[in-house]
Structure 1
């Protein structure tokens, strides 16, 4: 499977409109720190591409990837930075006279339907609480702590052919032992780490920082890790002395699993 990082930013993206920091300034010049909201494009031989999260930058991400259509998507949770593009996708499906397929846990679908009551006319929304298949991969969602923002879901992808596994966990913090269990035996962990070190009161936080993310990678013994969901606190040009198996996500970057 090939993963393409269409977006690598946190809920506000980079640059932040109000901010004149060095990272936002570099991003405004079209630099490496320019980040849209987090989203992955999954491509598997013999299968239709599968979008992972559909935030408000969906249109720009589709144009950058030279995609004129999309038939299916997987959603982690119903926060706006992860579902804000669903209305545009649904409208594109209407113009193309096709019906998109959206997969998410049942409670996430309920939230989406409540927020966009009409969207079911163009997007078939299918619960995937019990897991689903995508080519050789078995995809299993599980609920994770999202700190002050409540909850989100992460996804484990496990090959039904050779047992290889990787996981996408973009919005989480302070996972307990049960929530960490699906992170075992991974060849790749894509993990959200919004700040380098986030020194805000714990009750106000919602996503791991890079320091905590490194601890988690070591604890679960992931072979490789990519940190995404990056805020303007993270400068991808900087040397953070990361281990050789850990990298920062860049817009348009690809990875194979």
Structure 2
């Protein structure tokens, strides 16, 4: 499977429209730190691509990879930075006189229906509380703490032949022992870590910072780790300065990873 990082940003993206910090200024000048809302493009041989989350930058992200359509998507939760692109996607399907498919746990689908009741005319919704298959990969969702923002879902991908496994967990904090179990010993952990070191009180937060992410990666014995969902606190041009272990990297827009 090949993963392409369409977006690696937090809920506000980078640059922040109001901000003149070093990272936001650089993002405007050269684009190294320009980040769209977090999303992945998954490709498996002989299968249609699978989108993972569909935020407000969906149209820009599709243009960036030269794609005119997508037929299926996984959704982690119904916050705007993960679903706001569904309206444009649905309208695209309407113009092309086609339907596409959304896969998510039932409570996520019900929230999407509440917010965008019309998209189901074009985006057929499938409950995957009991998992789903994508080629030879089995995909398992589980509910994770999202701090002050309630809940999200993480996804574990298990290859049914070669034993490879990887996890996508973009929006989580204060995971319980039980919620950490599916992350154990995976080949790749893609984890949301908005800040390098977040100074705010824990009860006001919703996503791990990089220091906490490193601790979680060590606890789960993940063989490779990629931090995503990055805020304007993180400068991807300074990744070496953060003294990350060799198996931990920062996600960059357009980055491709082979599983």
Normalising by the smaller structure, the TM-score range is over 0.9
User: Counterparts in 2 of 1:194-233, with a 5 A limit?
Assistant: 194-233=194-233
Please list the CA deviations of residues 49-96 of structure 1 after superposition, one character each: whole Å capped at 9, or x if unmatched.
000000000000000010011100000000000000000000001111
Give how far 1:185 is off. Answer: 2.0
Does residue 9 of structure 1 match 2:21? no
Aligned match of 1:123 = 123
State the secondary structure of the residue aligned to 2:189: strand
User: What is the TM-score with the length of structure 2 in the denominator?
Assistant: 0.99
Count of aligned residue pairs for this structure pair? 257
State the secondary structure of the residue aligned to 2:17: coil
CA–CA separation in structure 2 for the residues paired with 1:234 and 1:150 = 24
CA–CA separation in structure 2 for the residues paired with 1:47 and 1:236 = 32
Please list the CA deviations of residues 236-255 of structure 1 after superposition, one character each: whole Å capped at 9, or x if unmatched.
11120100000000000000
State the secondary structure of the residue aligned to 1:45: coil
User: What is the TM-score with the length of structure 1 in the denominator?
Assistant: 0.99
Aligned match of 2:99 = 99
Aligned match of 1:28 = 28
User: Counterparts in 2 of 1:1-257, with a 5 A limit?
Assistant: 1-238=1-238, 239-257=241-259
Give how far 1:164 is off. Answer: 1.1
CA–CA separation in structure 2 for the residues paired with 1:248 and 1:39 = 14
CA–CA separation in structure 1 for the residues paired with 2:133 and 2:177 = 26
Structure 1 segments (4+ residues) deviating >3 Å: none
CA–CA separation in structure 1 for the residues paired with 2:185 and 2:96 = 41
Gaps of 5+ in 2: none
Give how far 1:46 is off. Answer: 1.1
Gaps of 5+ in 1: none
CA–CA separation in structure 1 for the residues paired with 2:162 and 2:64 = 33
Give how far 1:214 is off. Answer: 0.3
